[in-house]
Amino acid sequence: MIPAAFEYHRPSDIAGALSVLAEHGDEARVLAGGHSLIPMMKLRMADVPHLIDLQDIADLKGITIDGDTVTLGAMTTQHELIADEALFAACPIIREAALQIADPQVRYMGTIGGNVANGDPGNDMPGLMQCLDARFTLVGADGTRSVAARDFYESAYMTERDDEEILTQITFSATGAGYAYEKQKRKIGDYATAACAALITKDGDKVATAAIAMTNLSDIPVLSEAAAAALVGTSCDADAVKAAVAAALEDIDPTEDNRGPVAFKMHVAGIIISRAITRAWSGA
Amino acid sequence: MKDEVTREERVTNLKGLGCSRKRVEDARFTQGKGNYVDDINLPGMLTGDFVRSPYAHARIKSINTDAAMALDGVIAVLTAKDLEPLGLHWMPTLAGDKQMVLADGKVLFQGQEVAFVVAKDRYIASDAVELVEVDYEELPVIVDPFKSMQSDVVLREDLDPKAPGAHGPRKHHNHIFTWEVGDEDGTNAVIDDADIVAEESMYYHRTHPCPLEPCGAVASMDKVNGKLTLWGTFQAPHVVRTVASLLSGIEEHNIRVVSPDIGGGFGNKVGVYPGYVCSIVASIVTGVPVKWVEDRMENLMSTAFARDYWMKGKISATKEGKITGLHCHVTADHGAFDACADPTKFPAGFMNICTGSYDIPIAYLGVDGVYTNKAPGGVSYRCSFRVTEAVYFIERMIEVLAIEMNMDAAELRRINFIKKEQFPYNSALGWEYDSGDYHTAWDKALKAVDYEGLRKEQAERVAAFKAGETRSIMGIGLSFFTEIVGAGPVKNCDILGMGMFDSCEIRIHPTGSAVARLGTISQGQGHATTFAQILASEIGISADSITIEEGDTDTAPYGLGTYGSRSTPVAGAAAAMVGRKIRAKAQMIAAYLLEVHDDDVEFDVDRFVVKGAPERFKTMSEIAYAAYNQAIPGLEPGLEAVSYYDPPNMTYPFGAYVCVMDIDVDTGVPTINRFCALDDCGTRINPMVIEGQVHGGLTEALAVALGQEIAYDDMGNCKTGTLMDFFLPTAWEVPNYETDFTVTPSPHHPIGAKGVGESPHVGGVPCFSNAVQEAFRPFGNRHTNMPHDHWRIWKTANDLGMHD
């Protein structure tokens, strides 16, 4: 649990961080809250000769709500997300999900940017961002580009982000949809055995739109378009929920670990998805 | 002089027995001002770190340390070959076996110590560990003790397969011992003829004490004065000194062992680990201090585990439910070396307390210890020696018998409890229970939870579930336990030949304050608070004016340390006895000062008063001053004493616990709605400290019952080596505990105290487990093994067809 030697960089602006990245290529990694990277370094599973701490970069912080557009700086902590009343008004599911991430000590350090950028299938925010159809801003030496959360994840720890890019902000639209983030975990600080984010809007007494995404049930977050399709136009009755759950389960591929075997995870996933849909609908 | 202070105020100021005095230790602990092993930094100190085996069973073909030695800052890399000339490549275990300090030709478990790197700092040491090249040849791995007993694979090639072990004949090359207690033929005859027989097999899984502070040591060999000082995470510092002397040949007066503040032990810090030996050797070799502190993964994977008992039981009863006999066989997985920490004559600890709180006329216990490719250990994790296993076994057997008889398990217990008038009670397996009043405790606990009401509620819930109205079921977990603590009488309890007495020495200063030193060592139990209270009541000096010191073998009297809830029963008794010695002398001094006969003064709270004339008195402060500064005919100056206490018997704390739990059958998630713990630990020294101990013990019980385990795959890889997978509950997972008590003082302990630190763990594990299992009883469950994590609970529901 003792990391190998590394150089510590602490630039004060994005340009400074990019120049260290450019200089050291894949020998460098940016550090946000550190809850994934530092343990990996201590276990010597991540070899990071150059660590670039982003915490002094003011441009990466803050929550901005401009009309319907919500922008989260990548270095905004989970605690800040939870505490922000305007964000809660614009998109309440963020607070609900962030409160299910570990404990207050972790949330004081852990950041939204690190959570979505790391590509860890256990992280809670990526699925949620897919539900919100968020876009991630990536800044590199060649300029700035924007990638949809729904296109960002390739496989565990592998994302659209190039090694020399930094994820600087997250943008999505405010939503009044009914929402739920349901998560089953063994204990505080654990990754989900199964978790599901659901956003549902209503038109009359029918489902107008739905977005259903799952956490830690595949090697990437899974947005189930089939599950959403099974709900849209229905009154979200028991049969519709059942069909949506069945569709969602088709889209996931959990693996056995200490949390339990695949059959258990599939069963629990079904329950969690069903509860998320039901609760989101009740608030729609 | 008129006394302005009332007697009541004097009692309050004394802060003696029964006072919920705040813990004096907490001022430093809560401010981060504790002084732990890793806080010790000495000039020129080096750091050691281990190369550990990635394999559970492999032959070591070669070890190349060249690259590691070439790294700047590396001072030495020790292997078994370097220790062999000193005779220290192996060391004796507490269980009469021997254990490799550094791998000698082969490795027998994943994480085993292979080489010890000594470097200028922790970082360099860790870098060097990666540079040591070890060439392994993998060997077949055995992680199942039953397969081990059938296997041709010889795990311990160092042992003569035909020679007896430390505890008698061995049946197989992977067998360690057979230990038998009781009358097997008689028990079998009773069971064969019984009206009712219930049988069950259960596995008490392997787990780990996992103290917040892992194990470590700092060794400093002063070559000028020939003195070795060893700071370490030792629950028994005096024993470590003696063992270190015997192993190293350094005379015992030249070894000073210090246990500084210890961040939890729970049995993990009783054993002697290779890191201790290697840091001593490294300090001797280098001539400078050497520190070794393990990390969390090393702690979980290599230092002492707990439990790992496969228990098979048969219990018989009459049609009315009176138990007639009990048969228990245990296959005990001890891992690669038998490094259990038990008194010498008890290779399965006090497992023979497995008749529990019940009047069982005949019983038999047989235990077979077996080697496997798992880490060594077998410590008593927050319990007296193997008592948690024993109590879990009998409390499950009672439940299974209740199922067999279609009877209420609370009533079955009540029918079979040892009655108050039967104490002292001689159990079928050889213990003399000193005291108890089980029926009173049981009735009080059941009344507190409205047991009848709970059963009614449960029946409604079962009906609702069967009607499809809910997917949640309700469990009522019961347990009644009898602990056996305070080892122990020297006549039958020793560790490596050292009798298990304990001690207290006190020195009263002229102004009436005092320092007392004991042979025990607190790891968080609050000794500095509670031992001062015992002394305060005995001597009449306020607990606030008594400093308690433990853990430094140069100053503290010899004692066997703190584990098995023995501190209060043994060292606490020594404290009371030393207090009485002081008081006896103080009485003579007071009588002299008051110019009356010794028999004409009597002790009253904080003073001696002339009988019948309470206005004539001498306070303990006045007496202490006189003891040093007044020439008293026939008395030596000074006021100090020492007492070594060999208890005549163990003490037998007991308790009645009830847990009310909801279980979501679809997700396997349990929710604890109530947990009521009634403890009887005899005389209560500090109710607040007791409450804290009960909360802590229950929380570790919750952990073990609901998820905490050390699990291995078939290749012997430890799957639970970090706190991500090893369940350490936080405030979030823990329910609100309700506590209660009865007081049945120990008849043989000087103040009637019995010890409490481990009771809640012993009683808590079966209570949590029974709650889970009992919830499924109406749906056909008989027994399922712990840990009851989500997926195993879900599996129980699934196996019972509750997801169909």
User: What pLDDT is attached to residue A236?
Assistant: 97
> What pLDDT band is residue B789 in, cutting at 50, 70 and 90?
very high
Alpha-carbon gap: B119 to the closest alpha carbon of chain A (Å): 14
- Would you call A187 an interface residue with chain B, using a CB distance cutoff of 8 Å? yes
Cα first-last separation, chain B:
85
> What pLDDT band is residue B496 in, cutting at 50, 70 and 90?
confident
Mean pLDDT across chain B: 97
Q: Spell out, as residue ranges, where chain A has pLDDT lower than 50.
A: none
For residue B453, count CB atoms less than 10 angstroms from its CB and return exposed for 0-12, middle for 13-18, buried for 19 or more: exposed
Task: For residue B794, give the nearest of A189, A258, A264 by CB distance.
Answer: A264
Residue B3 has pLDDT above 80, yes or no: no
Contact between B794 and A268 using a beta-carbon 8 Å cutoff: yes
Q: Where are the alpha helices (DSSP H) in B319-475?
A: 387-405, 409-416, 438-448, 451-466
Q: Give residue-wise pLDDT tens across range B624-678.
A: 999 999 999 999 999 999 999 999 999 999 999 999 999 999 999 999 999 999 9
Q: What is the domain partition of chain B in residue ranges? A: 7-34+502-645, 37-139+214-262+269-302, 391-485+650-799
Q: HSE on the CB side for B632, CA within 13 Å?
A: 24
User: What pLDDT is attached to residue B408?
Assistant: 97
Q: HSE on the CB side for B639, CA within 13 Å?
A: 33
Q: What is the domain partition of chain A in residue ranges? A: 7-53, 63-173, 178-282
Rg (CA), chain A: 19
Give the number of other CB atoms < 10 A from CB of residue B289: 23
Q: Do the first three CATH levels of B37-139+214-262+269-302 and B391-485+650-799 match, i.e. the same topology?
A: no
CA pair distance B47, B563, nearest whole angstrom:
29
Backbone angles phi, psi at B296, to 5 degrees: -60, -45
- Would you call A103 an interface residue with chain B, using a CB distance cutoff of 8 Å? yes
Nearest CA in chain A to B299: A1
User: What pLDDT is attached to residue B630?
Assistant: 95
CA pair distance A78, A59, nearest whole angstrom:
17
Looking at beta carbons, which residues of chain A come within 8 Å of B723? Answer: 189
Contact between A268 and B790 using a beta-carbon 8 Å cutoff: yes
Q: Do the first three CATH levels of A7-53 and A63-173 match, i.e. the same topology?
A: no
CA pair distance B107, B336, nearest whole angstrom:
9
Fold topology of B7-34+502-645: Aldehyde Oxidoreductase; domain 4 (3.30.365)
A 29-68 residues inside an 8 A Cβ radius of B:
44
Structure tokens at B788: 């009851």
Task: For residue B730, give the nearest of A4, A103, A272 by CB distance.
Answer: A103
- Would you call A261 an interface residue with chain B, using a CB distance cutoff of 8 Å? yes
β-bridge mates for residue A196, sequence order: A182, A214
Question: Which residue's structure tokens are 């540079």?
Answer: B131
CA pair distance A273, A127, nearest whole angstrom:
13
Structure tokens at A145: 């580009």
Alpha-carbon gap: B121 to the closest alpha carbon of chain A (Å): 11
Of the candidates B557, B644, B645, the one whose C-alpha atom is nearest the C-alpha of residue B237 is: B557
Residue B726 has pLDDT above 60, yes or no: yes
Fold topology of A63-173: 3.30.465
> What pLDDT band is residue B488 in, cutting at 50, 70 and 90?
confident
CA pair distance A128, B537, nearest whole angstrom:
63
Contact between B724 and A268 using a beta-carbon 8 Å cutoff: no
For range B99-114, the mean pLDDT: 98
Contact between B791 and A188 using a beta-carbon 8 Å cutoff: no
Give the number of other CB atoms < 10 A from CB of residue B802: 17
Contact between B669 and A184 using a beta-carbon 8 Å cutoff: yes
Residue pairs spanning A and B at CB distance below 8 A? 68
**Do the beta carbons of residue B768 and residue B394 sit within 8 Å?**
no
Structure tokens at A130: 């897919």
Contact between B127 and A272 using a beta-carbon 8 Å cutoff: no
CA pair distance A30, B289, nearest whole angstrom:
38
Alpha-carbon gap: A180 to the closest alpha carbon of chain B (Å): 18
Q: HSE on the CB side for B406, CA within 13 Å?
A: 0
Give the number of other CB atoms < 10 A from CB of residue B141: 24
Contact between A258 and B719 using a beta-carbon 8 Å cutoff: yes
CA pair distance B341, B533, nearest whole angstrom:
30
Alpha-carbon gap: A192 to the closest alpha carbon of chain B (Å): 12
Cis-peptide, bond into residue B488, ω within 30° of zero: yes
- Would you call A189 an interface residue with chain B, using a CB distance cutoff of 8 Å? yes
Looking at beta carbons, which residues of chain B come within 8 Å of A273? Answer: none
**Do the beta carbons of residue B534 and residue B685 sit within 8 Å?**
yes
Q: Can you say whether the dihedral through the CA atoms of A258, A264, A270, A271 is positive or negative? A: negative
Task: For residue B791, give the nearest of A188, A191, A261 by CB distance.
Answer: A261
Nearest CA in chain A to B731: A188
CA pair distance B48, B78, nearest whole angstrom:
10
Contact between B795 and A272 using a beta-carbon 8 Å cutoff: no
Looking at beta carbons, which residues of chain B come within 8 Å of A191? Answer: 724
- Would you call A190 an interface residue with chain B, using a CB distance cutoff of 8 Å? yes
Q: Give residue-wise pLDDT tens across range B582-633.
A: 999 999 999 999 999 999 999 999 999 999 999 999 999 999 999 999 999 9
Residue B168 has pLDDT above 70, yes or no: yes
User: What pLDDT is attached to residue A251?
Assistant: 98
Determine the Cα angle at B231 with ends B225 and B232, to 5°: 150
Of the candidates B344, B353, B272, the one whose C-alpha atom is nearest the C-alpha of residue B499 is: B344
User: What pLDDT is attached to residue B2?
Assistant: 52
Task: For residue B794, give the nearest of A2, A188, A267 by CB distance.
Answer: A267
CA pair distance B725, B720, nearest whole angstrom:
5
Catalytically annotated residues of B: 235, 382-383, 758
Task: For residue B725, give the nearest of A44, A103, A258 by CB distance.
Answer: A258
User: What pLDDT is attached to residue B102?
Assistant: 98
**CATH top-level class for B391-485+650-799?**
alpha beta
For residue B258, count CB atoms less than 10 angstroms from its CB and return exposed for 0-12, middle for 13-18, buried for 19 or more: buried
**Do the beta carbons of residue B583 and residue B623 sit within 8 Å?**
no
- For domain A178-282, which CATH number applies: 3.30.465.10, 3.40.930.10, 3.30.420.40, 3.30.390.50? 3.30.390.50
CATH code: domain A7-53 is 3.30.43.10
Fold topology of B37-139+214-262+269-302: Aldehyde Oxidoreductase; domain 3 (3.90.1170)
Strands laid side by side in the A166-173 sheet: A63-66, A69-73, A166-173, A135-140, A143-148
